[in-house]
Structure 1
Amino acid sequence: LKNTENGEPAQDDYQNAQLLAHILELLTFCVEHHSYHIKSCIMNKDLLKRVLVLMKSAHKFLVLGALRFMRKIVALKDEFYNRYITKGCLFGPVIDCLLNNNGRYNLLDSAIIELFEFIKLEDIKILIAHIVENYGKKFEHIDYVQTFKALRQRHIQQTEKLKEKPITKYVYIYINVFGKYTFCFT
C-alpha cells in the first residue's frame, strides 16, 4: 500500500511491478471467493482507490491486473461496492487510461471496453448513471465502439422512466378499538 500513497506508483521498476501483480492476483482471488470478509478491508483501507493508482504504471500487465481487480468487484453487483465506487469517483483512472491509450487496438483497450460493456449488459443503474453524468463528455468522441453511446442511451431511458412513473398514494383507514378512524397516507 505504501507504493500507491501519493496518487501514482512510487517505484515503477519491473521487480516491484511483478510483486504488485502477484498481490493483485491474491486480492482478486479474495474478492471472488471470500467476498464477505474482504469487503471490510477494501472499504476501510480504501483499497480499490489505491489499486487503481496502478493504472498509471508503465507495465501493462500491472495495469491489466488493477483493471481485473475492479472488474471482479463490479461483477459482484454489490450495492455497497457500487456506492463506494461512485462516491470515490473510481472510474476516473480507468477512463483516463482508456483516453491515454488513444484508441489503440490492444488488450488494455479491449479489457476497459469489456468492463463498460458488462455494466451496460447487466444494467447496473447506479454505475451507468455515475459514468454518464460524470464522464460522459470524456468519451463523446470515442466512436470506434458503440458501448459508450449505448450507455448514454440506457441512462436517458432510465431517467425518462423515472419521470414518467406516476406517484401513487394509498390511503389506509384504521378503526381502533374505540371506533375512531385513523388515516394513514403512503
Structure 2
Amino acid sequence: MHGLTADLKALITRERLLRLAAFLIDMLVLGLLLALCDLMFPKPDFANVRSALDSIAQIADFEARQAQAEAAAALFQEAYIFSVAVWLGYEVIFQLIFNGQTLGKKICGLRVASVKPEESRLKASLRFTARSLVKGVFLMLFQGFPIIISWFYILANPASRAGYDLFLGTQVVSSRR
C-alpha cells in the first residue's frame, strides 16, 4: 500500500498541476468566448441541440424518432465544429502573440517551446502552431477523447510531454526564470 501511495505522489508534480490549472483556465476562457459568440451570432447553438435531443423522447414513431435523432446529431456536430474552431483560433492567436502562451499558460507561468533551444522564434512559432493544429484535428476526429489520452501520456512520460509534443518536438516549460 505504501508503494502505491508513493507512486501516486510521484505522478502529481508541481509542473503537472500547473499544466492542469492552465488547461482549466483556458477552458474557462473558451467558455466565455463561446458565450460571447452565442450572444453575437448565435453560435454554437447548444440550446437548440438540447431541445432537439429532448424532443426525441416524445416521439412515438420509430422512423420519426430516428430522423429527429439524426437531426439532433447534425446540430451537435455543427456546434462542436464551431467550438473547436473557436478554441483553435484562441490557442493559435494567443500563442503567436505571447510566444507559446495561452492566457492559462501565461497565468501559470508556462509556455510551449521547441525542444531545440537554438531554433528561431519563427520556426518555434510554426512548431507550436502545428501542435495546435494536430490537437484540433484529433479533437475533430475523436471528439474530446484525445484530452484523456493526452493526460495519460503526460502522466506516463517522465518529461510530462503529450503525444503531440513528442511528435512535433515541443514541450511545455516554465516561462519564469
TM-score, with normalisation over the residues of structure 1? 0.24
Larger Rg: 1
Q: Which has the higher contact order (CA 8 A, sep 6+)?
A: 2
TM-score, with normalisation over the residues of structure 2? 0.24
